[in-house]
Every structure is written in C-alpha cells, then in structure tokens.
Amino acid sequence: MLKTDTPDFLAIDPTDLSMADAHRLLLHCVAPRPIAFTSTLSPEGVPNLAPYSYFMAGGANPLSVAISPLTGRSGELKDTLLNIQRTREYVINVVTYQMRERMNRAAQEYPYGVSEWSEAGFTPAPCVKVKPARVLESPLVLECRLF
C-alpha cells in the first residue's frame, strides 16, 4: 500500500500484490462482469466451450467485442484462443442466472477430447454465419470473426 495525504483514501501498488491478490482486486474493481461463454471449433472439427469473465465491447465501427483468455494452469494457451487463432471464428453466448451452475461445470479444465458441451449439459445449435455452434439455451449469441 502507498501512503496518501488523506486518511480515507487507500492507494494500492499492484506490484506489491501476489498475482492472485491482484486478480481479485481487478475482479472487484470491474463489476458486474458479463460472462463471454465462448464456443469455438478446432480446425479438426473438435468443439470447445468455455466461459471468460474478461469480456467487453470493443467498438461500434466495426462492431466488435473482446475477450481475454488467460493461459491454463500449465501455462499453455487455452483451446479457445488456439481455435480462434486458427479458424478466426467464435461465438459469444450470453449466460443467464439459470445457466450459471452448468456454465461453471464447463469452466473446469478437462483433458483434450473431453467435451465441455456434454459435461455441462448444454445443447449445440447451428449458427448462421460461422461454423462453431451456439448454445441453444442462451437467449442471445454473437457470431464473431477475428479481424
């Protein structure tokens, strides 16, 4: 913490925090956070479904959104990011309160080849403009292309 001239103001130097504490601080500063329940498809046709809490509007012209996939526990790139880089397509599925528990099941790190769709009990449905499936249970989806 940094000293300040006013007793009711707390200044925090993020370099003094552990990564976990810095992460918690950021999550509490930027709230509420929408969830980008992101579906992708590998070049080989393997579907992937993962929630991301770092999600925001990117701009209006062109209409864009941004997600920030972190690395996995092993430090490797997550399947979502690899799939987006390779196919340049993804789908953001809006999550409702009723979907939260199943969405959390999809957040687990499963071995390669295990379907988050079936583990979490969501129904894939075809999209109009992109190849990855949308979540049928989601009330709103954004079909996206990386540019």
CA–CA dist 39, 141 (Å, integer): 10
pLDDT higher than threshold 80 for residue 99: yes
Report the pLDDT averaged over residues 89-104.
94
pLDDT higher than threshold 80 for residue 31: no
Q: Hey, where are the domains in the chain?
A: 1-31, 33-145
Higher pLDDT, 28 or 34: 34
Q: Give residue 5's pLDDT.
A: 59
Q: Give residue 40's pLDDT.
A: 96
In angstroms, what CA-CA distances link 13 with 2, 16, 17, 25, 91? 7, 6, 7, 11, 36
pLDDT higher than threshold 90 for residue 42: yes
Q: What CATH number was assigned to the domain covering residues 33-145?
A: 2.30.110.10
Report the pLDDT averaged over residues 13-41.
82
Report the pLDDT averaged over residues 122-143.
95
Closest to 83 measured CA to CA, from 44, 109, 37, 120? 44
pLDDT higher than threshold 80 for residue 123: yes
Q: Give residue 45's pLDDT.
A: 93
pLDDT higher than threshold 70 for residue 7: no
Question: pLDDT (tens digit, 9 = 90+) per residue, 50-96?
Answer: 999 888 888 888 888 999 887 777 788 888 999 999 999 999 999 99
pLDDT higher than threshold 60 for residue 1: no
54-57, long-range: CB within 8 Å, 24+ apart, which pairs?
55/92
- Radius of gyration (Cα) for the chain, nearest Å? 18
Q: Are 43 and 87 in contact, with CB atoms under 8 Å apart?
A: yes
